[in-house]
Chains A and B, each alone.
Chain A
Amino acid sequence: MEEDIKELVIARIKSLPEGTGVSIGSSGSFSKEDMIQHVEKNDEIGRKIIEIELNFLQKLKEGIIYERQPVGHEA
């Protein structure tokens, strides 16, 4: 199961356009290749990337992306 998730996440990362990087707060900035290595190693950065992917899938399942209305008169 864990390996399946890793494969899914790596496939998602590979689908990023070439030349796309990611900034993950104080952990630093990473290229696609860096991200894949971290996921394969299952280190702290890799686990964060996996957590974000699983969160995304969960939120889609829950259907949380609903219509938000602006608040106030001039948003």
Chain B
Amino acid sequence: MSDSLLVTRPNFDLTTRYISAWAGKVVKFAKSKNKNVFDLGKDRANREEFESMIRKHSPDLVFLNGHGNENQVAGQDNEVLLSLGDNENILKNKAVYALSCRSGKLLGPGSIKSGASSYIGYEEDFIFLYDEKQINRPKEDKTAEIFLEPSNQVMISLLKGHAAKEAHENSKQSFAKRIRKMLSSQSTRIESSAVRYLIWDMQCQVCHEK
């Protein structure tokens, strides 16, 4: 069972505002399970603090939220926190979930080679729909929930003690459950529209392990 979690939650544009707000639900869940949570929000989601907290506290779980690409994951104002060939070895013996575009393609496998125990991420862009009326209340946005609740399932499963592969499968199961509902005749207009993006996200989620 994991005892500690480090989470990065940059917040400087619409995408980071949403994913960081929804990551707050994971933080709340972790605290309810008496985990030690190191929560790097907004300006604290910078490389110096990120590396310092990992070295000092050596958390079992690392939950990264932010923009990214095949080789990198960023924090506040797109400051690079992790970069393949530079500092991915900081993830040694850690289980990582990166809600970040494309880092599952190269940074994920590279992190495993450098000693991370597991890396769950996305090989392509993570896409979500949102309700423009709710952009100042992202946690209450039922449209965004369609995407961000199945994503959170990765961390919820890891915090419950599931192995990385199980957490990955449980998240995919959560995506698939929503997709099946959306393909049914009872789906709402937004659900019918959202299904193509949800299938995309589900397909792009990958799990790398030692």
Cβ contact within 8 Å between B166 and A56: no
Docked Cα-Cα span, A12 to B177, in Å, equals 22
Is the C-beta of B190 less than 8 angstroms from some C-beta in chain A?
A: yes
Within the complex, the shortest CB–CB distance from B78 to chain A, in Å, comes to 8
Total contacting residues, chain B, CB less than 8 A: 46
Cβ contact within 8 Å between A52 and B196: yes
Cβ contact within 8 Å between A56 and B195: yes
With contacts A20-B190, A52-B196 known, is A71 near B170, CB below 8 A? yes
Contact with A along B160-197 (1 / 0, CB 8 A): 10110110011011001101100100000110110111
Docked Cα-Cα span, A55 to B200, in Å, equals 8
Could you tell me the dominant secondary structure of chain B's interface residues? helix
Could you say which of B25-33, B34-42, B109-117, B125-133 contacts chain A?
B125-133
Total contacting residues, chain A, CB less than 8 A: 32
Cβ contact within 8 Å between A52 and B127: yes
Docked Cα-Cα span, A55 to B135, in Å, equals 28
From the candidates A19, A24, A72, name the one contacting B125 in the complex (CB within 8 A): A24
Is the C-beta of A59 less than 8 angstroms from some C-beta in chain B?
A: yes
Docked Cα-Cα span, A37 to B196, in Å, equals 19
Docked Cα-Cα span, A23 to B169, in Å, equals 24
Cβ contact within 8 Å between B169 and A20: no
Is the C-beta of B94 less than 8 angstroms from some C-beta in chain A?
A: no
Q: Which residues of B contact A66 (CB under 8 A)?
A: 176
Cβ contact within 8 Å between B130 and A23: yes
Cβ contact within 8 Å between B199 and A59: yes
Q: Which of B68, B179, B196 has the most CB of A within 10 A?
A: B196
Docked Cα-Cα span, A24 to B173, in Å, equals 23
Q: Which residues of B contact A21 (CB under 8 A)?
A: 14, 129-132, 135
Query: Nearest A residue to B179 by beta-carbon distance?
Result: A65
Cβ contact within 8 Å between A20 and B199: no
Cβ contact within 8 Å between B190 and A69: no
Cβ contact within 8 Å between A23 and B166: no
Docked Cα-Cα span, A50 to B103, in Å, equals 22
Cβ contact within 8 Å between B199 and A55: yes
Docked Cα-Cα span, A28 to B67, in Å, equals 10
B42-82 residues at the A interface, CB under 8 angstroms: 67-69
Please name 5 pairs of A and B residues whose Cβ atoms are closer than 8 Å in the assembled complex, sorted by A: A17-B193, A22-B197, A29-B13, A53-B196, A65-B199
- Chain B residues in contact with chain A, CB under 8 A? 13-15, 18, 67-69, 101-102, 125-133, 135, 143, 153, 157, 160, 162-163, 165-166, 169-170, 172-173, 176-177, 179-180, 183, 189-190, 192-193, 195-197, 199-200, 203
